[in-house]
Amino acid sequence: MKRVVVIGGGVAGIAAATALAQAGLTVEIYEKRPLLGGRASSFIERETGERLDVCQHGTMRCCTNLADLLERLGVHDCIRYFDVIEFLDSAGRRSAIAGCGLPAPLHTSLSFLAFRSLGLRDKIAIARGMLAMVRAKPEPGYETLDIGTWFRRQRQTERAIRRFWEPVLVSACNEDLSRISCAHAFKIFRDGFLMHPRAYHFGIPRVPLGTLYTEPTQRFLQRRGGSVHLRAIVERAHLEEGRIAGITLASGRLVTADAFVSALPFDLLLKLLPPEATRGVPYFENLRRIEFSPIIGVHLWFDRPIDCPHAVALLDRPTDWIFNKTLNFDLPPGSGAYLSMVISADRELTARTNREILEQVIADVHAALPQTRSAVLLKSQVLKERKATFSPMPGVESLRPDQRSPIENLYVAGEWTRTGWPSTMESAARSGYLAAERLLEDAGRSERFLAPDLAPQGLARLLDGYRAALRRA
């Protein structure tokens, strides 16, 4: 086994390619766009040549494989981590989740007690809910039950749901509560907020996503004898005797290799393969039952500086987040304000026109940041991604495939493959590492790339031990 072709240069493809190159294989990435990063990337603005992110992305310290990948590429310092997550409600009250020095899982409890958008009854309900999540016996039933139903069974208050559970989960899972499985929701709170005192730290890129991924990956692969082919559209995969014999590019060129890693979204993987290779094969048929969920990204440029934190979650409004790109990119403050807004899983808003979306977002920004009302809006951009993420619906885990496909020399990466994580850059990085592990295993080499999770700390260690005992029982 010498030459590997990776189809698709998103985070999953980059993770697979870098791991395999590190293991000594010659790796080529074929990516249809001019920049790497896939859904977590930028486009090149025609008039200015500037790299603009398709949509703001964030990460957390619990995303250990994404961090590992960025370390590998030498760009982890391009992520700035914050130990405070800010919230702003419709009455203008600011609250925050912040650490207080107590051991996990109590490390954010003081900020939670001071959370101004919630009343005492809500906080008691949330504390009860958190405890129930931590103590929940790991069982398959949680993969098929939706978290909205579970919250009702746990007698969560309407305000606790609307102002706490929903904003966190809809942002992390990009789905309505009625379409998020308990297994995914529990994972977000356990791994992200309860087990380790730094797990919730919120990471925001200091550079455009295209810059974070493109040149560092090119340099990494070139130094190891590999290459990245941009603007290279892979049109078809050819099967011979149960193996991929080669792929054809839109240019007509045939590319051969010893093994192939598809790092495409699942609907495109199905289009790439000949229908007879997928029809009736459960591994591929299951993919037809996975659904997508949309995200809207809006960029606004104002003529003057605006007082806005690096990132703030808006409660009670269609717009979920405002990111201050002027601060995040260390742009000169005199140059005005560049703000990016994110709206997750809002199918109704996604169906509206860009003008209507813009009006809604501007209304939310005016309400949240009153200074913007008197500022001149110089430029705006609305970007809708209808297929932003796979939907973490009850039952989806049984549809997500392993990274080893039934086709002999085809391995499959992509955030939608079986990683246990919702659709995130972390899941994509994990999938790429797992695909590389499977490929090397089949070549008789046992190498591990997957980075360990943050180890539970403080009292959370005891709770983790309790859960492990339940699993064994």
State the nearest-atom distance from the C-beta of 188 to ligand FAD, in Å: 12
- Indicate the residue among 134 and 413 with the shorter CB distance to ligand FAD: 413
Per the CB < 8 A criterion, the answer to whether 50 and 61 are in contact is no
| Residue nearer to ligand FAD on the CB measure, 12 or 195 | 12
Q: How far apart are CA 407 and CA 261, in angstroms?
A: 11
Q: How far is the CB of 249 from ligand FAD (least distance, A)?
A: 8
Measured from the CB atom, the residue of 434 and 463 that comes closer to ligand FAD is 434
Q: Coil, strand, or helix at residue 86?
A: strand
Q: For ligand FAD, give the closer residue by CB, 234 or 312.
A: 234
Strand residue runs (E) in 230-283 = 234-240, 243-249, 254-255, 259-262
Nearer to ligand FAD, 336 or 414 (CB): 414
3-state secondary structure of 259: strand
User: In the 3-class helix/strand/coil scheme, how is 105-162 assigned residue by residue?
Assistant: CCCCHHHHHCCCCCCHHHHHHHHHHHHHHHHCCCCCHHHHCEHHHHHHHCCCCHHHHH
Q: Tell me how far, at minimum, the Cβ of 415 lies from ligand FAD, in Å.
A: 4
Q: Are 326 and 337 in contact (CB under 8 A)?
A: yes
User: Rounded CA gap, 284 and 282, in Å?
Assistant: 5
Residues in the chain: 473
* Closer by beta carbon to ligand FAD, 129 or else 422: 422
Residue closer to ligand FAD, measured from CB, 100 or 450:
450
Q: CB of 376: closest distance to ligand FAD in angstroms?
A: 27
E strands in 303-399:
311-314, 321-324, 337-344, 377-390
Site residues for ligand FAD per CB under 6 A: 7-13, 30-33, 38-40, 55, 57-59, 233-234, 263-265, 268, 295, 297, 385, 388-389, 414-415, 423-426, 428
Q: How far is the CB of 60 from ligand FAD (least distance, A)?
A: 8
Tell me how far, at minimum, the Cβ of 52 lies from ligand FAD, in Å: 13
Which residues partner with 246 through β-bridges? 238
Contacts of 313 (CB under 8 A, 6+ apart): 85, 86, 87, 88, 167, 171, 320, 321
Q: How far is the CB of 116 from ligand FAD (least distance, A)?
A: 25
Q: Which pair of tokens denotes residue 303? A: 């003529």
Amino acid at 302: F
Q: 186 in helix, strand or coil? A: helix
CA-nearest of 329, 78, 75 to 216 is 75
Give the nearer residue to ligand FAD in terms of CB position, either 10 or 129: 10
Minimum CB distance to ligand FAD smaller for 38 or for 167 = 38
Closest distance to ligand FAD from the beta carbon of 419 (Å): 10
**Whole-number minimum distance, CB 67 to ligand FAD, in Å?**
12
Rounded CA gap, 142 and 150, in Å? 9
Strand pairing partners for 229? 30
Q: Which of 326, 313, 262 is nearest to 117 (CA)?
A: 313
Least distance CB 272 / ligand FAD (angstroms): 7
Return d(Cα 273, Cα 18) in angstroms, integer: 24
Nearer to ligand FAD, 108 or 217 (CB): 217
Between 20 and 134, CB nearer to ligand FAD: 20
Closest CB 437 distance from ligand FAD, rounded Å: 16
What amino acid occupies position 195?
M
Q: Name the DSSP letter for residue 334.
A: G
Task: Name the β-bridge partners of 385.
Answer: 295
Decide: residue 276, CB within 10 A, 0-12 exposed, 13-18 middle, 19+ buried: exposed
Closest distance of CB 233 from ligand FAD, Å: 5
- Measured between alpha carbons, how far is 357 from 349 in angstroms, rounded to an integer? 7
Considering beta carbons, is residue 10 or 216 the nearer one to ligand FAD? 10
- Which helix (H) or strand (E) segment is 297 a member of? strand 292-302
